[in-house]
Amino acid sequence: MENNTMIITRKIQLLIDSDDDKFVKEIKDKLYNWQSICFRSANMIMSHHFVQEQVKDFFYLTDDIKLKIADKKKEPNGILRSSRINTTYRLLSNHFKGHIPTNILNNLNNTLISNFNRERVAYWKGEKSLRNYKKNIPLPFAAESIRNLDHAPDNKNFRFKLFQIPFRTFLGKDTSDKKIILNRIKNGTVKLRTSSIQLDKGKIYLLAAIQIEKEQHVLDTSVIAEASLSIEHPVNVKIGERQYAIGNKEEFLHRRLAIQAAVFRVKKGVSFNRGGHGEKRKKKCLVDYQNNEKKYVEYKLHVYSRKLIDLCIKHQAATLILVNQQQKEEIAKEDHFLLQNWSYYSLKDKINYKAEKVGIQVIIE
């Protein structure tokens, strides 16, 4: 049976809902301490499960021993005192219980074991290295941990409690659907799934995972759209006898190169800029230009992917094929100009996301 729901993620900035600066600092210190524990825990989980997967090889000098990575209470040859998923949870509990909510440890353990099980064959074949988690790892938690979600006094933002910590959202000049989604979560019309808190440069973000219904469109399985991604025209699409070009080289590449040229000019003059607050003040204009390039590219890729999916819906194409895409990505890896200026991977991800949302199958050649 086809799954008619999907999970989307929204990044929402949070503020600690208090006017007491001392309290705010204590909470931030606590969150960063939890993040440090999650960083250590994540690498411990992956290391222990990898060892459990390979433990038979550690006993290759012994001929008369039989091993099975299973609970010895359930399997006669089992060598574990509990289930595999419980081994690392008990390990983390022994090390960190009382220093971090066990809800975070439990969800971190479940998420990482799911990742490990999906990739275990690739580890065994040597096609993939074991994941290594960084210090900025998000803190996962169950949806039920968010309590008392309600409107803030300004009626624009929301406030809630998470592990007894008061938070409120900071939507700013939000033009997206974040406020609508938060309203729907509050009213119970959409479900919040296992989400996480991310700490980035002193700011706090909620990475809210929301389960939504896929859009329903009339699609014909006999209609196939063929799309080609290139630097001349960002997207060329063929549906039956009709052909469309989405975007052009002058619109995308030339504009991006112009921004890069401006970045280069500003970079040469950075050392002559007025200081006052050290390096940050001197490089402010450079950072602004670099952010402008990122925003421009992200916006254009969203527009191109949206127009492509709209064309597929218009012609009722149930299948979208990205022609020769893998070959183009291999060529781009060897061509510095293409790798720097043509965002194959980002555009492909946006196409996949929008296609899944409307029920279109994407095939990458």
pLDDT digits (tens, 9 = 90+) for 297-334: 888 888 888 998 999 999 998 898 888 777 766 665 66
Share of the chain above pLDDT 70, in %: 81
Instruction: Dump pLDDT digits (tens) for 283-297.
Output: 777 777 777 888 888
Residue bearing the bigger pLDDT, 286 or 197:
197
Give me 127's structure tokens: 């096609």
Nearest alpha carbon to residue 52 among 89, 94, 85, 97:
85
Give the pLDDT mean for 3-16. Answer: 86
Q: What whole-number distance in Å separates Cα of residue 355 and Cα of residue 214?
A: 10
Give the pLDDT mean for 191-217. Answer: 89
Give me 291's structure tokens: 């952010």
pLDDT score, position 15: 92
Give Rg (Cα) of the chain.
Answer: 25
Q: What whole-number distance in Å separates Cα of residue 113 and Cα of residue 107?
A: 10
Residue bearing the bigger pLDDT, 263 or 109:
109
Residue 1's pLDDT band, with cuts at 50, 70 and 90, is: very low
Residue bearing the bigger pLDDT, 272 or 127:
127
The pLDDT of residue 78 is above 70: no
Predicted TM-score (pTM) of the model is 0.76
The pLDDT of residue 62 is above 60: no
Q: Are the C-beta atoms of residues 342 and 231 closer than 8 Å to each other?
A: yes
pLDDT score, position 87: 77
The enclosing H or E element of 295 equals helix 284-314
The pLDDT of residue 100 is above 80: yes
Phi, psi of 25 (to 5 degrees): -65, -40
pLDDT score, position 252: 74
Give the number of other CB atoms < 10 A from CB of residue 208: 21
Domain ranges of the chain: 5-21+138-213, 29-125, 220-364
What are the C-alpha distances in Å from 39 to residues 89, 133, 338?
A: 15, 6, 35
pLDDT score, position 196: 92
What are the C-alpha distances in Å from 96 to residues 52, 139, 197?
A: 21, 14, 19
pLDDT score, position 30: 93
Give the pLDDT mean for 12-38. Answer: 92
pLDDT score, position 177: 81
The pLDDT of residue 224 is above 70: yes
Residues 6+ apart with CB under 8 A from 174: none
Beta bridge partners of 15: 168
Give me 313's structure tokens: 């819906």
The pLDDT of residue 81 is above 70: no
Give me 361's structure tokens: 């199958």
The pLDDT of residue 41 is above 60: yes
DSSP secondary structure, 63-106, as one string? SS---EEEETTTSTTEEESS-HHHHHHHHHHHHHBTTB-HHHHH
DSSP state, 271?
G
Beta bridge partners of 200: 203
Q: Classify domain 220-364 at the CATH topology level.
A: Nucleotidyltransferase; domain 5 (3.30.420)
Give the number of other CB atoms < 10 A from CB of residue 2: 5
Residue 160's pLDDT band, with cuts at 50, 70 and 90, is: very high
Q: Look at 101-105, 274-278, 323-327 and tell me which has the smallest mean pLDDT.
A: 274-278
Give me 338's structure tokens: 């293409």
Q: What whole-number distance in Å separates Cα of residue 301 and Cα of residue 303?
A: 5
The pLDDT of residue 166 is above 90: yes
The pLDDT of residue 17 is above 50: yes
Give me 2's structure tokens: 């086809």
The pLDDT of residue 221 is above 80: yes
| Region of 362 on the Ramachandran plot (φ > 0 left; ψ -120 to 50 alpha; else beta) | beta
Q: Are the C-beta atoms of residues 309 and 219 closer than 8 Å to each other?
A: no
